[in-house]
Structure 1
Amino acid sequence: MKEKIENNTMGITPKNKRGSFWKTVGNVAFYLVMALILVWAFWFSRSDDPTKSVFGYRFYYIQSPSMEPDVPVGAAIFTKITDPGEIKIGDVITYYLGDTSVSHQVIEIQSAGEGMQELWFRTKGVANEEPDPELVPAEAVAGVMVLCIPRLGFVMSWIGEHMMMILWLFGLICVLCVLVQWLVRESKKEPKEPQEQPCPQG
């Protein structure tokens, strides 16, 4: 009976090792994905290319109170690249005035040319009393807002300013987590029972 139990234990041990290995791999992969997200946010916030996007989405930090309370200062908004012909009155669009991005609500759409090929949008900040003085041409529109997360802009801005420190700390935390998991796994291993030695015949 004792010999049978020992054989069963030996049969389970490799399976446990395989499970622990894949669990560790999964944890490391999770940490790497999170690190990549931080790097992507840093790249996006620092890039000067107005056409940059990830899977057709862009995000911006709101630094003006012109859209409060709907879109407060410090919020991060996610915009989706949209065909100008699909933009409707009431949509919040992000467009460029030179190197500056503006996110305001569409209050009027004007068209010209055959088949409405040329479009302009009159916009207005929710908190502003008057519409914006200039019409926005369709080619200046970066996208339509689909999501607004208050205060996230402050967080992402801080991350962008302290990216190197965060990456170092994140890497250290990853190493410590893997080390702790390994130590816990080692501490749970049952000590092997000493094998009985046959008595010498004499």
Structure 2
Amino acid sequence: ETLGKVRTVAFDKTGTLTVGKPQVTDILAAEGTDEDVLGKAAAVEHGSSHPLGLAIIAAAGARGIVAPQSFEASAVPGKAVIARLEEGWVSVGSPRYASESNLLAGSLKESVERLESEGKTVVIVAAKDRALGLIALRDEPREDAADGIARIKSLGLRALMLTGDNRRTGEAIARRLGLEVQAELLPDAKLRVIAELKTLGPVAMVGDGINDAPAMA
């Protein structure tokens, strides 16, 4: 009965509208080699269950890279994973997180913008006071996602993607699937968007993962 009253269907991106198995497509070192950047990122992501973290670990393994040992790993939901390596603290986070720490500028920033416009998700690998490089990943849309969105819209419902990913990547995926998008949303921001949508009528939220828990509660 409640579903029959729904006016808006909001979707998470990763693992919901996309396959949820991103692949590393690009590595760009700002310091050291590409292998150094990927190895440090894999060390930080050790033990991660997040699709991006798993993809980074798999990419390092496929290249025969032995990741250095990491300690005291912790997550900043929607922003970064941080861990201590022997040489010091290293983070793997969103470009927005790196920008907030004044670590994103020049040619690296230009590369981020280019890769994001291609629909790729970019993470910045950084030490405490400098960016070490970037890793770009692509997560392909599910084969039936576009058809599913079209069917929802044919029922007169609004289809909306809510993602913590950057605006350029979100818009590129949304164009392929034919739905609206609100991007760069932290978990609490997703909750606020859902609350605003509810003022217009019942809302269905489809997602998984820790970043969607508040919005789905």
Q: Given the two structures, how large is their TM-score scaled by the length of structure 2?
A: 0.20
With structure 1 as the length reference, what TM-score do the two structures score? 0.21
Q: Which of the two has higher C-alpha Rg? A: 1
**Higher RCO (CA 8 Å, separation ≥ 6 residues):** 2
Q: Which has the higher helix share?
A: 1
